[in-house]
Structures are given as C-alpha cells and as structure tokens.
Amino acid sequence: MHCRDAKQWLTHQTGGDMSAEERAALQEHVQHCSVCQAVKQHQQQMDALLRTTATRPRPSVSTEQIMVAVQRQQRISRQLEDIRVQQKSRVERMRPIGTAIAALGFFTLASIPLLLLAITIIQTDLVVQALTAFNSVIDFLLVLAQYLQAGITLATRNSWLLSGVAFVAVIMMGLWLRLMRPPQEIPGG
C-alpha cells in the first residue's frame, strides 16, 4: 500500500468500507511508516474531539441569564419611558410661556398701527411736524451718505490718502479711548 492510499483510508476520505485485505494492508503499512502513524494519531485525536463535542451538551443560555436580560431590557425601556415623560412635561410647562410671548408680540405688533392712527387723529399737527422733522433727518442722512461715499471713493483710489485716513482713525480712536477712560486720581491733588 502506498502512503497516499493509507492517508485516504486513515482520514476517511474514501467512500465505502474497507475489505479485510485492505484493513490488513493498511495496518501493515502504518506499522512501518512513521508518517502514516502520525497521521493516524492525529486523526484519532480529531475523532475523539469531534465525538466529545458532539455528545457534550452545548453551553446553552440558562434561564437565569434570560431573566437577567429581560429585566435589563425592561429597565432600559422604563428609563426611555421616563425620559419621554420628562420631555413631555417640559413641553407642557413651556407651552403657556410660549403662548404668552406669542400673544404679547402679536398684540404689540397689532397695536402699533392703531397707536399711530390714534396719534394722527388726536395730534395732527404733531404728526405733521414729526414727519417734517423725519424728512429733514432723512435728507441730512442722504447728503451725509453721499459725502461719505465720495470720501470713501477718493480715499480708496489713493493709497496714500487711505493710509492717512486709517492713521487718523487710529489716532482718533486712541484719543476717544483716553477720554472715555474713568478719571484717575491725581497725585497730590
């Protein structure tokens, strides 16, 4: 018998049963072949291992473990429920405040035209004066804006002028900060 055939028999790779002659030939070969002896031993160990694994009851999940898991699950769902209830109560508490703020804002906005209408009816002269003053203020602002625009255009065209304007601005800010500083005690005064 060759090693190849012996290994096939030893590792149960061949289909069918061994005849008496084959069995004898295999035993004879294994007795003289150290390689096949090792294969046989290994195969026997593997067989034994498979048998014990097959017969031994699998490490199953015990009832206690299931109960613990169920309790944990219940605890988690209870916590989630608590959080949900807390959020709900918070929303419930916030609702009147939000409604009050919304109502107040709405009333304020709605009362402005009414107030203006009332002033127009009661104090017509005042409104006219106010509008005139408002107009002149707007005119002044427009003129100022035009001058400002012209100045900015001029300054941005000339880099030297821009630098000068920036320098003056810095100086003025420094002076302003110095003036705004709280008065310090004068020594000896």
Separation between Cα atoms, residue 38 and residue 88, nearest integer Å: 73
Selected binder of Zn ion within 33, 127, 155, 162 (CB under 5 A): 33
E strand or H helix that includes residue 15: none
Q: Select 37 or 162, whichever has its Cβ closest to Zn ion.
A: 37
Alpha carbons 131 and 133: distance in angstroms, whole number: 5
Nearest distance in Å: CB 9, Zn ion: 11
Nearer to Zn ion, 3 or 127 (CB): 3
Nearer of residues 9 and 36 to Zn ion, judged by Cβ: 36
x/- map, 36-75, Zn ion, by CB under 5 A: x---------------------------------------
Q: Smallest gap, in angstroms, from Cβ of residue 29 to Zn ion? A: 6
Q: Measure CA of the first residue to CA of the last residue in the chain; give whole Å.
A: 125
What three-state secondary structure class fits 66? helix
User: What tokens were used for 119?
Assistant: 């002033």
11 or 74: CB nearest Zn ion: 11
Using the rule CB under 5 A, is 10 a contact of Zn ion? Answer: no
d(CA 108, CA 100): 12
Q: For Zn ion, which residue has the nearest CB?
A: 33
Angle between helices 34-55 and 3-10 (to 10 degrees): 10
Binding-residue total with Zn ion (CB under 5 A): 5
The DSSP symbol for 71 reads H
> In the numeric block, which tokens belong to residue 11?
């590792």
Nearest approach in angstroms of CB 8 to Zn ion is 11
Q: Which residues bind Zn ion (CB under 5 A)?
A: 3, 6, 33, 35-36
